[in-house]
């Protein structure tokens, strides 16, 4: 069997552009839930937001590096784990936080701030942690990633739709209200369908290698959720806020990860399998955790 580090997945430029568009629509559907007043309120009481961003961009990448050092996976798998950890919160985190009885406003705001921060922090985290581990350092050197190009990609896909969504909600709240639910459900359905089609185009490959990453992804996701919960607990956040921080840390934007993998790493096998498996697993684990959390009302 061909080594996973040597395989490049089949993914056409048109498919990549379609994925970019889907993620932009997903981000826009999240943004029309936001008001400028939400940001002002957080500026007066920023502790939950700062705690969440610290968990997202500092604690999770550090935990991921520890997992890589302990498990010593194939280099492309290791870099895939690092890239997923460097991405902002996932686009279903807000829905799952709501289902868990957590602070949905905090969750949406964390997604927004993390998305803006990802322009700088995603390439910075990937470069920092990837270069600390010799096998992934070799991949990074071979691909010659331009951080500016990564920042532009993240900005066009996530930040521009975020700004447009907030503006629409501010200028035409009636339109935003009508669009909100249908757009969120439609965008998520299209995104999931796209992942299924991408898997189908490379099905034999995924069948052969999914087992190599399944356990690592489950452990990685568990670390992410546990890390978020621990950081929020140590910071003394209420259970209401703690649920949001836990889920936001454990639900990663694997769709953005796939875009970066196909756009800058040529669809490198191990990285793509990690991001695709994350895209499925974090939804399962997040919904299961939400069901458990929702059995008791969170203290505010």
Widest distance between CA atoms in the chain: 57
pLDDT computed for residue 251 by the predictor: 92
pTM here is 0.84
pLDDT computed for residue 1 by the predictor: 40
Q: What is the four-CA torsion angle of 33, 86, 230, 64, rounded to 10 degrees?
A: 150
Rounded distance between C-alpha atoms, residue 169 and residue 1, angstroms: 52
pLDDT computed for residue 223 by the predictor: 97
pLDDT computed for residue 119 by the predictor: 84
Please, is 129 exposed, middle or buried when counting C-beta atoms within 10 Å of its C-beta (0-12, 13-18, 19+)?
Answer: buried
Q: Which residue has the tokens 């200028």?
A: 171
End-to-end C-alpha distance for the chain, whole angstroms: 54
pLDDT tens for 186-211 read 776 776 676 666 666 666 666 666 77
Rounded distance between C-alpha atoms, residue 156 and residue 204, angstroms: 33
* Helices 104-132 & 60-71 angle (0-180, nearest 10): 40
Residue 213 and residue 275 in contact, taking contact as beta carbons nearer than 8 Å: no
Rounded distance between C-alpha atoms, residue 271 and residue 74, angstroms: 10
Token pair, residue 22, equals 């889907």
CA 66 and chain centroid, separation: 19
The domains located in the chain, with CATH, are 4-293 (1.20.1530.20)
pLDDT computed for residue 148 by the predictor: 76
Q: Give the closest residue to 96 by CA, choosing from 108, 83, 84.
A: 108
**How many beta carbons lie within 10 A of that of residue 267, not counting itself?**
18
Residue stretches of the chain with pLDDT short of 50 = 1-2
Report helix, strand or coil for 74. Answer: coil
pLDDT computed for residue 50 by the predictor: 93
Average per-residue pLDDT in the chain? 82
Please, is 98 exposed, middle or buried when counting C-beta atoms within 10 Å of its C-beta (0-12, 13-18, 19+)?
Answer: middle
């Amino acid at each position: 069997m061909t080594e996973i580090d040597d395989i490049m997945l089949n993914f056409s430029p048109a498919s990549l552009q379609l994925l970019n568009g889907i993620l932009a629509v997903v981000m826009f559907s999240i943004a029309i839930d936001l008001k400028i007043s939400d940001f002002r309120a957080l500026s007066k009481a920023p502790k939950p937001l700062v705690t969440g961003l610290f968990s997202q961009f500092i604690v999770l990448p550090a935990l991921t590096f520890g997992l890589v050092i302990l498990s010593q996976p194939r280099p492309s798998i290791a870099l895939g784990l690092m890239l997923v950890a460097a991405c902002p919160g996932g686009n279903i985190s807000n829905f799952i936080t709501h289902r868990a009885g957590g602070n949905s406003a905090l969750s949406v705001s964390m997604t927004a701030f993390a998305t803006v921060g990802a322009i700088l922090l995603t390439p910075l985290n990937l470069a920092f942690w990837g270069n600390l581990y010799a096998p992934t350092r070799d991949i990074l050197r071979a691909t010659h990633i331009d951080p500016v190009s990564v920042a532009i990609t993240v900005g066009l896909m996530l930040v521009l739709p975020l700004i447009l969504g907030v503006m629409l909600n501010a200028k035409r709240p009636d339109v935003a209200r009508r669009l909100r639910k249908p757009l969120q459900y439609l965008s998520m359905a299209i995104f999931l369908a796209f992942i299924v089609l991408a898997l189908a185009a490379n099905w034999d490959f995924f069948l052969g290698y999914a087992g190599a990453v399944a356990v690592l992804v489950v452990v990685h996701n568990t670390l992410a959720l546990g890390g978020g919960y621990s950081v929020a607990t140590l910071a003394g956040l209420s259970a209401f806020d703690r649920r949001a921080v836990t889920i936001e840390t454990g639900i990663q934007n694997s769709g953005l990860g796939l875009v970066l993998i196909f756009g800058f790493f040529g669809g490198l096998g191990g990285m793509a399998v990690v991001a695709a498996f994350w895209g499925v697993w974090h939804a399962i684990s997040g919904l299961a955790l939400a069901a458990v959390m929702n059995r008791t009302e969170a203290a505010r």
